[in-house]
Structure 1
Amino acid sequence: MNILMMTNTYLPFVGGVERSVQIFTGEYRRLGHQVLIVAPSSSQQIPSDETGVLRVPAIQHFNGTDFSVPLPIPGILNAALKQFKPDIVHSHHPFIIGDSALRISAQLKIPIVFTFHTFYERYTHYVPGDSKALKKFVIALATGYANLCDFVFAPSLSVAVELRRRGVLSHMEIIPTGIETELFLNGDRRVARKWLGINEDVFVIGCVSRLAPEKNIDFLVLSVKKFLEKRRKVCFLLIGSGPCEDKIKANLKNEIIEGKVIMPGTVTSQPLIDCYHAMDLFVFASKTETQGLVITEAMASGVPVVALRASGVAEVIDDKKNGCIVENESCEDFVSAMNWVQGWGRKNNLKRNAINTASKYTKEICAQKALTVYEGLRRKNHILRNHSESTWETAKRLIKAEMDIIKNMTRATGMAITNK
């Protein structure tokens, strides 16, 4: 099967969407399928051995962030699509390249699948003029986009429920991003602790996250700070980078916790796996996740998790079995949950339960679920497709796709300026 992946963000930027595209693509290719990824160009160094990725022009560092915004790409894909001959197009964003995905689906008369990776209204602070109206606009835009697609992938049950509540009517299935569980089982605790300068008798609280406001990072840092201030032989290993990095360092700078905070920046590949194994507890406070991939990675490494209750999180954490769910955004409650886990340390039952939970999210299982959907859509599309279609019929279909995009934009705008 020839699968066309279309995304507004991709490596070398590291985030949930990028990881998801990379993981699914790798597994599809391992199973013998062909995948072409359409993604924006990047100001960061792109690996010289990158293959199967078509980079399109993009505005770099949008609004002072490390995100890029793809430019309209009419015509730039034609040659590549003619050669690749996709059987299905999978969109990972409901705008910009996502609109191009709709047009390609209509032009080639192939099914389109959309993964709802993000609650976009929780990221509008990156856009000038952030307001309630803008939040309503992006909710309506994403909902309308989902309804223009043949199938929607929801990364978790809570996301699927919310999408139905918002009015998404398209066929939908819960398909999370899987991980290579065997890989995460094989980390070296001692290697990571030696590299980071952490003694073996130190209790390590860890987090892997983009250091940004939407990750609720201020609350997490404040909670961990309270924990560190009252204990000896503990430290906080915060892995990641982002716009809040300097602020976090300033907030964690005081005499009481001096030497208890380690921030190595972005870590990937085997060193990241080793770092997971160096942790005794993983903490997470984001309320914007649709899955929380790092939680699954931590559990696959045998690390219990303490996290705020949020979409995509509660489905993974079994309270008091593989970690703790904190119901209220209270530092006291969060610290109490951390205390509970520290009391148990890395006892075998917590570790075993965490690993067993992660085993349900292997990349093989998740990719096969996705491929089953693709194949069903492909068979249905083959039956419906009129191979002798005239140029006029193709033009009418393209015009309809363009009108659908405009109608969705108009509807979202109307929702934003009303009180509905």
Structure 2
Amino acid sequence: MNIVMFTNTFRPHISGVANSVAWQADGLREIGHRVLVVAPEFPGVTSDEPDVVRIPAVQNFRGSDFSVPIPLTRPLSDTLAGFAPDIVHSHHPFLLGDTALRVSASFDLPIVYTHHTRYELCSYHIARDSPVLQRLVLGIALGYSDLCDAVIAPSRSMADFLIDRGVKAPVNTIPTGIEIDGFAGRDGNEVRRNLGIPADAFVVGHVGRLAPEKNLDYLADAIGRFLAAERRAHFLVVGDGPMKEPISRFFEEHDLAERIHMPGACEGERLASMYAAIDAFAFSSRSETQGLVLAEAMAASVPVVALDAFGVREMVRDRFNGRLLPADVPSHSFAEAVQWIGELDDRKRRAVGKAAGRTARLFTRERATGSMLELYRSLAWARRRVKTPKDGSWQTAMRRIEQEWKILSNVAHAVGDALVAESVPAPMKAARQSHRGRP
């Protein structure tokens, strides 16, 4: 099959979504399918990327580490005509996500959308602490789902969230797969030596984009409490982002700077070695849809301490492969859960680590790629069955106009719902939700 993917974030940017798109594309290519990725320009992009089309973008939008692409479709026409896609896969409901809808209409192709992100929890890039904005971005994302032929949720809890909020399009649970063997059996001793971490230290680790929505103030406080109580413990934070300096400053202010290590973002073998240097993985985000770093840590046989949230509860079993804590637990209880792992004897800690490794096997790239391909094929087959044999310029133009109207109508419905949500009675809210998506 020929698959065209549209994403607002991609390599060399490092994030869960960027990695997910890259891994999905790589997995499909490895078994003989063609994937064309349409993504924004980023600093450091090379000019010889195979099967990647870069779109001009505004860099570092509102002080974030994101690029905002300028969603132009005309320059893509010749490339897409030559590529001859069988299906369109959108990874965002905004910007290039709208371009994906237009392309699906122009070429009369089925479109799949993966709901990677809790957008209502990440609206700080546009306006901080705005309930109206949170409702708006969520409303657009939910409505966008119903403009697509199928929706992919990376976890069962995310799928339930979408269905409970009125999404009518078929929702399929397909977690992003990882290359399990790339994280297993590594040696973390060199990482410890290079960072000045004693060989016998207990190392708590965290990997991810260091952004406000990841609940990192809470995590810093919890791990700070743990380090203060456990003098031989160190904290290894792998990643980059706007929260890097505040985290570093917090540990300096609490006289713990010598026991926190922040080597920046890592990939490939270096990242795998970072996981191998960790004794317990700490994860406090409540804004995930899956949490790929949990699978990576578990693939390295590292127990996880995490808060109960979307994607997390499908992976972490309390006292089996780590600790799963209530989402509202105070930070000192999180520190105590880390301490629980630290106090396990060698035999029990190895057992928990092995359980984590077995859990990771449920999230292999091969398994995810097979499920994705099965969905693609079913949608492409269904579309071929109903396609008319002749498709002239008039039919193409009508599809484009209809799609543009749907895009505008979705935004209008989302704006209206966001503005009146506080004053509209619950039955009327439900009625409005039932009209979301396709007009």
SS of the residue corresponding to residue 259 of structure 1 reads helix
Assess, with a 3 A threshold, how the Cα gap between structure 1 residues 130 and 186 changes in structure 2: closer, same or farther: same
Contact 1:280–1:345 under 8 Å retained in 2: no
- 1:169-318 map, 5 Å: 169-254=168-253, 256-318=255-317
Letter in 2 for 1:31: I
Q: Offset of 1:237 from its aligned partner?
A: 0.3
Amino acid at match of 1:3: I
3-state SS, counterpart of residue 76 of structure 1:
helix
State the one-letter code of the partner of 1:396.
M
Q: Secondary structure at the match of 1:320?
A: coil
Quick one: distance in 1 between partners of 2:54 and 2:39?
5
CA distance in 2, matches of 1:345, 1:275: 23
Residues 255 and 310 (structure 1 numbering): CA distance in 2 closer, same or farther, change over 3 Å? Answer: closer
Aligned to 1:392: 394
Distance 1:345 1:317, change over 3 A: farther
1:378 alignment counterpart: 380
- One-letter amino acid matched to 1:91: S
8 A contact 1:189–1:275 mirrored in 2: yes
How far did residue 48 of structure 1 move?
A: 5.1
Shift of 1:64: 1.5
TM-aligned CA deviation for residue 336 of structure 1: 1.4
Q: Which residue of 1 aligns with 2:409?
A: 407
2:83: which partner in 1?
84
Please show how residues 297-376 of structure 1 align to structure 2 within 5 Å: 297-327=296-326, 328-344=328-344, 347-376=349-378
The 1:255/1:226 distance shift into structure 2, 3 A limit, reads closer
The equivalent of 1:56 in structure 2 is: 55
Query: What secondary structure sits across from 1:325 in the alignment?
Result: strand
Query: Percent sequence identity over matched residues?
Result: 42
Q: Is contact 1:229–1:256 with CA below 8 Å preserved after alignment? A: no
Deviation of 1:199 (Å): 1.7
Change (3 A) 1:285 1:255: closer
The whole-number CA distance in structure 2 between the counterparts of 1:197 and 1:414 is 56
Q: For each residue in 1:194-244, what CA deviation from the matched residue of structure 2 results, as whole angstroms up to 9, or x when unmatched?
A: 222212110000000211110000000000000001112110001111111
- SS in structure 2 opposite 1:207? strand
Aligned length: 419
User: What is the root-mean-square deviation of aligned Cα atoms in Å?
Assistant: 1.3
- The superposition leaves residues 234-259 of structure 1 with CA deviations (integer Å, 9 ceiling, x where unpaired) of 10001111111111111101464241
Aligned position for 1:100: 99
Q: Which residue of 1 aligns with 2:116?
A: 117
Give the whole-Å Cα distance in 1 for the aligned partners of 2:411 and 2:215. Answer: 30
Cα separation, 2, equivalents of 1:345 and 1:54: 52
| Cα distance in structure 2, aligned partners of 1:41 and 1:77 | 14
Which moved further from structure 2: 304-313 or 258-267? 258-267
The residue type equivalent to 2:407 in the other structure is I
Q: TM-score, normalization: structure 2?
A: 0.93
Taking the aligned partners of 1:334 and 1:101, their CA distance within structure 2 comes to: 42
Partners of 2:73 and 2:103 within 8 A in 1: no
Change (3 A) 1:410 1:386: same
- 1:4 equivalent in alignment to 2:4: yes
- Residue 437 (structure 2) aligns with: none
Contact kept, 8 Å, 1:181 with 1:358, in 2: the verdict is yes
Cα deviation, residue 331, structure 1? 1.0
Equivalent-residue separation in structure 2 for 1:126 and 1:35 (angstroms): 30
Larger deviation, residues 165-174 vs 190-199: 190-199
Give unpaired runs (5+ residues) of structure 2: 422-428, 430-439
The offset of 1:332, in angstroms, is: 1.8
Q: What secondary structure sits across from 1:401 in the alignment? A: helix
Cα shift readout 1:303-326 (whole Å, capped 9, x = no counterpart) = 000011111101100110000011
Give the Cα separation in 1 of the matches to 2:254 and 2:78: 61
Question: Distance in 2 between the 1:238 and 1:129 partners?
Answer: 26
User: What CA distance in whole angstroms lies between the structure 1 residues aligned with 2:107 and 2:389?
Assistant: 11
**Structure 2: distance between partners of 1:322 and 1:303:** 8
Deviation of 1:128 after TM superposition, in Å, equals 3.9
Q: Displaced runs of 4+ in structure 1, greater than 6 A?
A: none
8 A contact 1:188–1:274 mirrored in 2 = yes
1:124-163 residue pairs with structure 2 within 5 A? 124-128=123-127, 131-163=130-162
Looking at structure 1, the residues matched to 232 and 253 of structure 2 have their Cα atoms a distance apart, in angstroms, of 16
SS of 1:298's equivalent? helix
Range 218-227 or range 185-194, more displaced: 185-194
- Of 391-400 and 101-110, deviating more is 391-400
Alpha-carbon separation, structure 2, partners of 1:47 and 1:326: 43
TM-score (norm 1): 0.97
Separation in 2 of the partners of 1:271 and 1:345?
A: 28
1:376–1:202: structure 2 CA closer, same or farther, 3 Å change rule?
same
Counterpart residue number, 1:15: 15
Report the alpha carbon displacement of residue 329 of structure 1 after superposing the two structures with TM.
3.2
Query: 2: distance between equivalents of 1:193 and 1:413?
Result: 51
SS of the aligned residue for 1:252 comes to helix
- Which stretch has the larger CA shift, 166-175 or 253-262? 253-262
Deviation at 1:378, TM superposition (A): 0.9
